[in-house]
Structure 1
Amino acid sequence: MEVEKLISMCTHCGFCLETCPTFSVTRNEVHSPRGRIEAIRSKIESYGLQTCMFCRLCETACPAGVKYGQIVLPFRKRNVKQSLFLRSLESPRATYLLLKGSQKISLKEAQRFKEFTKGLKVERQIEGEDDEPEIVLFPGCLEGVLFRETVEKALNFLRKRYKVKIINGCCGLAHFSAGNIEKAKELASRLGTIKKPIVTLQSNCAAHMKEYKELFGLEVEVFDFAEFLIRKGVDLPRKEGKVTIHYPCNAYRKGLTKYVVEVIKKMGINVREMEDPQFECGSGGDYWITHPEMSDKVREIKKTKIEKSGVNTVISTNSVCSLSILRSGFKPLHVADLL
């Protein structure tokens, strides 16, 4: 559908406003979904188009079904630093070297990495496969480098039941969100050659990969990790404890967060629901690097919502969300960490 027709669907009702993290912190229409749509309609060069965190939660609130993402994507602009960072996510070795190197240099972006990864060990991603694998484990671009222990736990748990192959790299969501649709399609095409079920530890990656057919005409059988456990009826251990659960934005939009909730409850863990669990965590993909001030303001709102749950342990199934939650002083855990 042409952009003009998509824009005409917006009735300016305002239901999107309170779901938008950047409007929540600025109270400024320039930084709201309908404000950005109006800027495109009026052919105005608006800075608000670049401040969008691209969580697309406005789409879940829109009674008219406006496809906000399709409207704004062609108008997203990337700078050189952002392009280089996103390019590094495609290679496991490059991702490792980038994060390792950021601990030793003084650029402001590197300082940002240090702040958000404090206490985490940068490690090389796990490689390898069993003979004649039955499923593919796709940790995502950052998980294996910053949360390698989580990947090990997931791999060991799955290998008790299946023959597993690990594939590292990027699903293309980061490029897609930044407006680089061609690169996103290229990365999707690589994963599209896999003819085994793909289980990813990144809920937002799972949500994006489930849209490959709609976006690129590619068929992949992909499951979020928690979704795989529930849909395949995998036996789960009983655990004790109290947690609250963060709903990553894209995963929430695609209905995947219900599986995380179901897994945690089946394990017998007490869930204290936070206020608006789907509210943006503040990371927004690479937003926490490219727009640090806005990111921190959004993160403060999220921090308050988590605090109201009265629980310090937060289940987060997306690595950049986990970084934001960690930076806010909480303990992020993936579902796999509980197995």
Structure 2
Amino acid sequence: MGLEEELNKCVHCGFCLEACPTYSVTRSEIHSPRGRITAVKLGIPSEGLDTCVYCRRCELACPSGVKYSEIITSVRKANPLEKIMLKILEKPSLIQMFNIIKEVKANKPLEYSDKNPEIILFPGCITSVFFRDTVEKALNFLKRQGYTVEILNGCCGLAHEHVGEKNRSKELISKVGKEFEGKTVISLSSNCTAHMKENGLNVYDFGEFLIKMDVPLPFIEGEVTVHEPCHANLLGLNKYTRQVLSKMGVKIKESEEPSYECGAGGDYFIFHKEMSEKIMMTKKEKVMKSGLTTVISTNPSCSIAFLKMGLKPKHLADLL
């Protein structure tokens, strides 16, 4: 379906409004999916096209099935600073040199490979840098289960698609797809998992693998609340996180609207700091309705957002 046909599917009903984090913190039509679609239809400039956090919650709310992501990525263009950031993300080893996130220390990406590995553990572009311990725990757990593993650090192209660099995004998907051939792939970054699945790659999210392969899990006492990363939520992947926690005996105390956007939006929190902070403030209020500060977050940019909020994010792998 072409852009014009997708635009015409929108009947301006407004179901998308309250699902949209930027609308919820501004109450401005300009910063809503409906307002952005109108701007594209009319061919007029709008700051709202830049402020979209690309969580795609509006797609779940839309009764007409508008593929909003196809519309917004067709008109967005990366600015020069974003293009530099994207180049850095393509080489995780470079990210350590540009540690601009004060809440978390950058590390050298973890590298590891058994002889003839049956599993590729794919941290994505930033997990191995900012959450290296998580990668190491996931690796050690899989090895204890008897799997042979290779860690493959790289970029799936989601950040590129977010800002309209669709061609480069497809090139990166093709690249990792070739590297994945013949192997079972486990992704530690849930939104990356969703992006790769949507682009035809056969990958498991970490929690999905644990459940589908019926991997033995330890019993752990404790209470957590759960964040549901946005793109993973679109594909229903967050159910596996909850199933893993249930299987481990971990008690879940619900926050308000667990799938509400965290405010990170990839590099959104860097280039749209004011809007991002407003969304993070709202998200923190919703999380605190659970009465807990420990948040299960299976996506690294979300985890960075929670650190910026003063909360304690943990990946499922951190519990193993």
Q: Same fold (TM over 0.5)?
A: yes
Does 1:188 pair with 2:173? yes
1:249 maps to a residue whose letter is C
Partner of 1:171: 156
Q: Report the Cα distance in structure 2 between the residues aligned to 1:128 and 1:151, rounded to whole angstroms.
A: 11
Identical counterparts, % of pairs:
53
Instruction: Report Cα offsets for 1:26-80 as digits up to 9, x if no partner.
Output: 1001000011001111111111001000100100011110000011111112111
The correspondence for 1:204, drawn from 191, 212, 237, is 191
Q: Report the Cα distance in structure 2 between the residues aligned to 1:11 and 1:255, rounded to whole angstroms.
A: 26
Q: Report the Cα distance in structure 1 between the residues aligned to 2:89 and 2:96, rounded to whole angstroms.
A: 9
Does 1:36 pair with 2:25? no
Q: Report the Cα distance in structure 2 between the residues aligned to 1:175 and 1:43, rounded to whole angstroms.
A: 23
Q: Report the Cα distance in structure 1 between the residues aligned to 2:230 and 2:105, rounded to whole angstroms.
A: 26
| Alpha carbons 2:138, 2:317 under 8 Å: kept | yes
Cα offset for 1:313? 0.5
Cα offset for 1:197? 1.6
Partner of 1:15: 15
Cα offset for 1:92? 2.1
Q: Report the Cα distance in structure 2 between the residues aligned to 1:77 and 1:187, rounded to whole angstroms.
A: 18
Q: Report the Cα distance in structure 2 between the residues aligned to 1:267 and 1:128, rounded to whole angstroms.
A: 28
Instruction: Report Cα offsets for 1:149-191 as digits up to 9, x if no partner.
Output: 1100000011122110110011100001111011101111111
Partner of 1:279: 260
Secondary structure in structure 2 of the residue aligned to 1:199: strand
Q: Report the Cα distance in structure 2 between the residues aligned to 1:198 and 1:132, rounded to whole angstroms.
A: 14
The correspondence for 1:250, drawn from 231, 248, 253, is 231
Cα offset for 1:121? 2.8
Q: Report the Cα distance in structure 2 between the residues aligned to 1:29 and 1:263, rounded to whole angstroms.
A: 39
TM-score by length of 2: 0.98
Secondary structure in structure 1 of the residue aligned to 2:120: strand
Does 1:70 pair with 2:70? yes
* Aligned ranges 1:61-140 → 2 under 5 Å: 61-99=61-99, 102=100, 113-114=101-102, 117=103, 120-140=104-124
Q: Report the Cα distance in structure 2 between the residues aligned to 1:53 and 1:186, rounded to whole angstroms.
A: 23
* Aligned ranges 1:285-296 → 2 under 5 Å: 285-296=266-277
Q: Report the Cα distance in structure 2 between the residues aligned to 1:211 and 1:320, rounded to whole angstroms.
A: 19
Q: Which moved more, 1:307-316 or 1:188-197?
A: 188-197
Q: Report the Cα distance in structure 1 between the residues aligned to 2:163 and 2:208, rounded to whole angstroms.
A: 27
The correspondence for 1:150, drawn from 104, 116, 134, is 134
The correspondence for 2:143, drawn from 145, 159, 165, is 159
Cα offset for 1:128? 2.3
Q: Report the Cα distance in structure 2 between the residues aligned to 1:14 and 1:92, rounded to whole angstroms.
A: 40
Q: Which moved more, 1:292-301 or 1:82-91?
A: 82-91
Q: Report the Cα distance in structure 1 between the residues aligned to 2:73 and 2:105, rounded to whole angstroms.
A: 35
The correspondence for 2:215, drawn from 230, 234, 241, is 234
Q: Report the Cα distance in structure 1 between the residues aligned to 2:234 and 2:187, rounded to whole angstroms.
A: 17
Partner of 1:318: 299
| Alpha carbons 2:20, 2:33 under 8 Å: kept | yes
1:34 maps to a residue whose letter is R
2:222 maps to a residue whose letter is G
Instruction: Report Cα offsets for 1:214-253 as digits up to 9, x if no partner.
Output: xxxxxx2201100010011101100011100000000011
Instruction: Report Cα offsets for 1:77-134 as digits up to 9, x if no partner.
Output: 21111110111011122112122xx4xxxxxxxxxx22xx2xx332101112111111
Secondary structure in structure 2 of the residue aligned to 1:297: helix
Secondary structure in structure 2 of the residue aligned to 1:281: coil
Cα offset for 1:192? 1.1
Q: Report the Cα distance in structure 1 between the residues aligned to 2:299 and 2:263, rounded to whole angstroms.
A: 12
| Alpha carbons 2:95, 2:106 under 8 Å: kept | no
2:317 maps to a residue whose letter is A
Structure 1: segments with no counterpart, 5+ residues: 103-112, 214-219
Q: Report the Cα distance in structure 1 between the residues aligned to 2:43 and 2:302, rounded to whole angstroms.
A: 33
Cα offset for 1:305? 0.2
Q: Which moved more, 1:56-65 or 1:158-167?
A: 158-167
